[in-house]
Amino acid sequence: MSYTIIKTGGKQFAVESGQKVRVPSIEAEAGKKVDIDTVFAGGTAAVGSIKATVVGHGLGDKVIVFKKKRRKQYKRKQGHRQGFTEIQID
């Protein structure tokens, strides 16, 4: 099982060839090729680049943000859906 660790959107992902991964939003249209430059191998950064194809964009599950102060009649309820881009590693 050989995998490569890539970094995109401030997060790191362990990926293999042919795998589909949801990463933070990338400015590219569906079907376009993208290069991911930050690749880690054996603890060293910037070994090379990985080619990937953008499969599509979407929104993640809703997260509820609820704030309340007791005995003050203060409460706020808010929802948030984080955007993502699904890519396939070539």
Average pLDDT over residues 32-50: 76
Paired residues of 58 in beta bridges: 84
The residue type found at 38 is T
Residue 20 has pLDDT above 90, yes or no: yes
Q: Give residue 45's pLDDT.
A: 55
Do 42 and 2 contact (CB within 8 A), yes or no? no
Q: Are 23 and 8 in contact (CB under 8 A)?
A: yes
Residue 52 has pLDDT above 80, yes or no: yes
* pLDDT, mean of residues 22-46: 83
What's the pLDDT at 51? Answer: 92
Is 57 in contact with 83 (CB distance < 8 Å)? yes
CA distance between the termini of the chain: 16
How far apart CA 18 and CA 4 sit, in angstroms, is 12
Statement: residue 53 has pLDDT above 70: yes
